[in-house]
Structure 1
Amino acid sequence: MKIILPLLSVFFLACNNEPVIVQDPASEDLISITQAFNIDDQGDAITTFIINNSLNSEIIYSNDSYSVNSFSNGLMVSEEIYDNNNELLANTSYVYDASGRLTTLFNYTLDNGLEFLSYQLEAEYAGNQILVSKTGYDLMGEITYQDVDIFTLDNENRIMKSQDSNSANIWEATYENGNLATFQISGYGDNYDGTATFTYSDELASEPYQKEKYRFGSEWRNNIMLIAGGNYPFKQLAELGNNYLTGYSFILASNNSESVSIEVLYEFDERGRLSKQTKNKVFFESEHNRTLTYQYE
């Protein structure tokens, strides 16, 4: 499928040499993104991201639960999750430094109407490293787990290494032309350790494609990676580049016949705006299919 060049963000330098971003016109027109996800064609789970004034103000899930997001200076500072009866289930607050970097996250969960702190994240920035402390709590306030991840940044403020201070878990990334080029993970176990390679379009990605910008501001790439969990972090990292991801292949070190791969196709409307993204993933033995459609004013 031919990829049509969409309208792009333009960058200038102000008198103080600080970057000034001219907003992508497609971002100003975007009102929602609808995602349909299924595993082995077992029915779609629908998630809708509502965009107001270039901010992701609400997320509606397939079971009619939803989150309401509040912002300050273009950064999400609270996320309240409600069930389909409009009862509050959880509340997460976010704190940032003057540069828009995430410093603290508090997650409060409700149990029989009682709100308690269930999770806390604290990020400390020291030179080219970010130390991220994560603590979980039970209903009685007792600590259930503690962990510290150490992220190392390259000279372009991209995460090139992550290491768990309490174990041998480590992953390393390299970049080319603003995109994730290679990824290697080790210490996680035979079902997770391996290497990944990636392919991208020649065209620069538009802002609607990079939807985490609508929640996490100018430092959205690193902010989302500090929060993101899972044993296959390359899946998130691959979508944070300058260009449209078109595919990747991850192969287990323990068995090179076991892999995770994806092919991504894009469609654009008559104005060159991203209108549809189709992700066909083979996750070892199962098929994970995800389609995102973009609605504009």
Structure 2
Amino acid sequence: MTSVPTVTLNNGEKIPQLGFGVFQVPDEETTAAVASALEAGYRSIDTAAIYGNESGVGKALSVAGVPREDLFITTKLWNADQGYDATLKAFDASLAKLGLEYIDLYLIHWPTPARDLYRDSWRAIEKLVADGRVRTPGVSNFQPAHLRRLVDGASLLPAVNQIELHPGLQQTELRAVHAELGIVTEAWSPLAQGAVLGDDAITTVARRHDKSPAQVVLRWHLQLGNVVIPKSVTPARIRENLDVFDFTLSDDEMAAIATLDRSLRTGPDPDTFN
């Protein structure tokens, strides 16, 4: 079983640097996929209310036999549930579906600036942290302006911002803001849904290291310091995505991948998505 390194967050908690995502995995398939991931050695599982598979995750956790203190479970508040009271209610629903007593990382899924409720939701999350029901507060898809507005007057800083990030969308400015504020960058769609895996800069490196293009991209993330959450329902691919700790990309290889940035989004624009 692979041992995954951890990243220390701004509240002292530790998050595994490589986790397992379940975006777009149907609930009825999620239990088996998460079970495969836990068996392979993943200990960080990332879900969200809108994914509709928190129950499937919870079933896998309940039978896995992994001590709760060894797990790092993330879920997210959906846009329609933003606001102080609505956030508390939505959190209770997620916790019940997961069958847990606390969540390791609870994220505001999108800033939805037109709703202008994310600061109210953040106050609710601060209460959940104070009550011991959330270990670590964070956000997802927040742009620099959203982050600065959120932290102004807040009692707690987000520990994580989970954003779309891959070689085609490297988010250099946003990662610099994270570094300034002490926020860890977590990458969703880390492989750009496969859109970057055929790029020559990546396939050349993959041949050199006798690794797959996906493994090279995941290694690139890790060496940047990102936390990364690839997803798959195929046991062999689940294991392959974890097999990225036995090689290192050179400075020249990292620089070659850096040239692939082309503002390629596979998901919505956080400034306009509501």
The TM-score bracket by the shorter chain reads 0.3 to 0.5
Structure with more relative contact order (C-alpha pairs < 8 Å, separation 6 or more): 2
TM-score for the superposition, normalised by structure 2:
0.35
More strand as a share of residues: 1
